[in-house]
A = this chain, B = another copy of it.
Amino acid sequence: MYAFSNAVNSMHSEDIKQLMKQASGKSMISFAGGMPNNDLFPLKQIDAIYNSLPEDIKKLCFQYGPTSGYPPLVKSLENYLENKGLAVRNNKILITTGSLQAISIITQEFVNEGDIILTENPSFVGALSVFETFGAEIHSIPIDKDGIDIQALKDKINSLNRTPKFLYVTPNYHNPAGIIYTPKRKKELLEVLAGTGIILLEDDAYSDLYFEVEEKQLTRSMKSFGVKNVEIIYTGSFSKILGPGFRLGYMLSSEEIFEKAESVKQALDACTSNFMQILANEFLAQHKLEPYLEFLRSEYLERKNLLQRHLEAYMPKEITWNEPKGGFYIWLKLPAHIKSTDVFKETVKEGVVFVTGRTFDPASKKDDRLRLSYSNMPKDSIEKGVIILSTAIKKVLENSEVTLK
């Protein structure tokens, strides 16, 4: 046994390893992975881009780049974010190796062991694993169908004897809860944070994946609201809109936060792959993103509709959920007396996997939910998967009644 540091123990990174294993199990029907479907990637577009790169740019693909990012990509991202209403000019962009690295950098930048971080409950498991790795004390606040519970957030802040470093939220097409914050809830959230010194970490990986164009206005980021008395760090990702294999994300923050973040990134991996940055830049600069997103939106809408329809047809009446309006996830609610972990034990025997509710609880306890991802499976497997899942749930429900008697 070696003298490991205090940082290395994280329950949630074990959960993720398990998740990765489930997601890559070939013969399984998997509702588990939060990744795009292999058949939807823009192979042809990237082929065309790669093969038309001028030789001098292609050479740059192989070389180191600045720690902050490949300058033309930073420029393209500025345009992209400005189109989303973000005030890029008074802020700085740092390109990261996936948006998980952005979360990791921000945590390293602000958090000493024992510092408090606030999260939603449920929360993105990847972020939880980062916070644990840096020894943060995580306090979580419940969410409902409109966003974080404002009263619970106020009560939590008032109950703490020291100021949390930041509040981590994923307001648009929440992972795992599938909801989108209402504009009212976003506004209320900013009001609660105003003047507290608690930084808002706004993780926005899914906002481009709304199903209907009328939804678009609801995806507006809190960073674009122009509030002066809340410091907001905004993170985004190429993983859901171009491919996780690129490992490209970014953060948008004030210059002071950017400067320190750049130094942290320098020590983490020096710079993000120029190769991937150059391909992504051409994708943006050649205006290939928006038509590709339109294709993705219709594909994911179709998958969501399929899953929704089959859930309606097969699920016992005790099971409820909110129909998502974008993103990758449906978050099923079970009766409080049964556990998603018990349902999982049944479905896995029949070749179906999903992610249990407790995975997304910072305390790894609350287990009356389960996450179904419709993004990454063949469309014709959805019905079969739902039948196996509903059969398993019925079995667990019946067993629980037997136990109650």
Contacts and interface: CB of A to CB of B under 8 A. Distances in A.
Interface in A31-73: 33, 35-36, 38-39, 41-43, 46-47, 50-51, 55, 58-67
Copies of this chain present: 2
A225 B250 CA distance: 43
A293 to B, nearest CB: 15
A132 B266 CA distance: 12
A6 interface: yes
A269 B108 CA distance: 13
Nearest to A51: B51
Nearest to A239: B64
A273 interface: yes
Given A129-B263, A246-B273, 6 more contacts: A8-B263, A8-B264, A10-B263, A17-B263, A64-B239, A273-B273
A271 interface: yes
A291 interface: no
Interface stretch (A96-104, A328-336, A340-348, A357-365): A96-104
Nearest 10 CB-CB pairings of A with B: A62-B243, A245-B274, A41-B62, A133-B267, A13-B263, A38-B59, A64-B244, A247-B273, A62-B245, A97-B269
Interface stretch (A109-117, A142-150, A397-405): A109-117
A58 B35 contact: no
Contacts of A110: 2-5
